Amino acid sequence: QKEVEQDPGPLSVPEGAIVSLNCTYSNSAFQYFMWYRQYSRKGPELLMYTYSSGNKEDGRFTAQVDKSSKYISLFIRDSQPSDSATYLCAMTGNTPLVFGKGTRLSVIA
Amino acid sequence: EAGVAQSPRYKIIEKRQSVAFWCNPISGHATLYWYQQILGQGPKLLIQFQNNGVVDDSQLPKDRFSAERLKGVDSTLKIQPAKLEDSAVYLCASSLDLAGGYTFGSGTRLTVV
């Protein structure tokens, strides 16, 4: 079993839709959970950073962590064509970040 | 704040040749990482430096890959000899400390033919 599992998609949604992206993990030591966005031919950029369980909101983005289920989610409200990218979940327990495979998202105008 | 600089952006080499990548992290960032990202996969850690010392190189294929961080600032990653399966994007990232969020460079896209 991989440490971090993420459905690679691709996911295609119409503009304005609510997008839900998810990851599961197996390592109970993970405490810090992140979502990175990666545009084509660019490096990943940090989108959301959450410590332990709970919700965090930043504009149209909401990150949720459920440590009891080892499940994290990223919600994007009112999705825009500019949100089209690959979204990578990443997590750590004070070791180097472990990444999921990434989910490729396309938002169609 | 200047970002993480990497060069070259692209490199095409034949198998069994050698290649080197260069990374200049954000000024003041003590921790530097090299990740390998194969097409369709998430980044996989190759090596982590804290200042100029290696913290974790457990996933670095040491028979062909080597890395150094000169004076705790710039870093180079070398592959010798290259194999077809080394075709990937090599990402450099830096952070203020071991627990900080990472800033990634744009990566070097390596194609081995």
Choose the mutation target among A99, A101, A103, A104 for the interface with B, i.e. most B CBs under 10 Å: A99
Summarize pLDDT for B21-51 with one digit per residue, the tens. 999 999 989 999 999 999 999 999 999 999 8
Q: Return the residue matching tokens 């993480």.
A: B4
Length of chain A: 109
Nearest-by-Cβ selection for A43 from B44, B48, B107: B107
Length of chain B: 113
pLDDT at A17: 97
Which residues of A have a CB under 8 Å from any CB of B? 4, 6, 8, 32, 34, 36, 41-46, 49, 88, 90, 94-102
Short-list B53, B87, B76, B71, CA closest to B5: B76
CA distance B40 to A54: 29
**Distance in Å, alpha carbon of B25 to nearest chain A alpha carbon:** 13
Q: What token pair was written down for B81?
A: 């000899």
pLDDT at B101: 79
Work out the mean pLDDT of chain A and round it to a whole number. Answer: 94
Work out the mean pLDDT of chain B and round it to a whole number. Answer: 94
Across the range B76-102, mean pLDDT stands at 91
Chain A contacts of B102, Cβ < 8 Å?
46, 97
B contact residues 7-46, partner A, Cβ 8 Å cutoff: 33, 35, 40-45
CA distance A92 to A38: 19
Task: Indicate yes or no: CB of B99 within 8 angstroms of CB of A94.
Answer: yes
pLDDT at A9: 86
Task: Indicate yes or no: CB of B102 within 8 angstroms of CB of A46.
Answer: yes
Q: Using alpha carbons, list the distances in angstroms from residue A107 to A6, A11, A16, A50, A61.
A: 19, 8, 8, 25, 15
B contact residues 70-99, partner A, Cβ 8 Å cutoff: 91, 93, 98-99
Summarize pLDDT for A17-48 with one digit per residue, the tens. 999 999 999 999 999 999 999 999 999 999 99
Chain A contacts of B106, Cβ < 8 Å?
41-43
Short-list B70, B109, B105, B41, CA closest to A86: B41
pLDDT-derived band at A101 (thresholds 50, 70, 90) equals: very high
CA distance B95 to A21: 26
CA distance A41 to A96: 23
Q: What are phi and psi of A16, to 5 degrees?
A: 95, -10
Short-list B3, B8, B20, B4, CA closest to B109: B8
**DSSP line for B80-99:** SS--GGG-EEEEEEEESSTT
* Residues forming a β-bridge with A45: A37
pLDDT at B98: 62
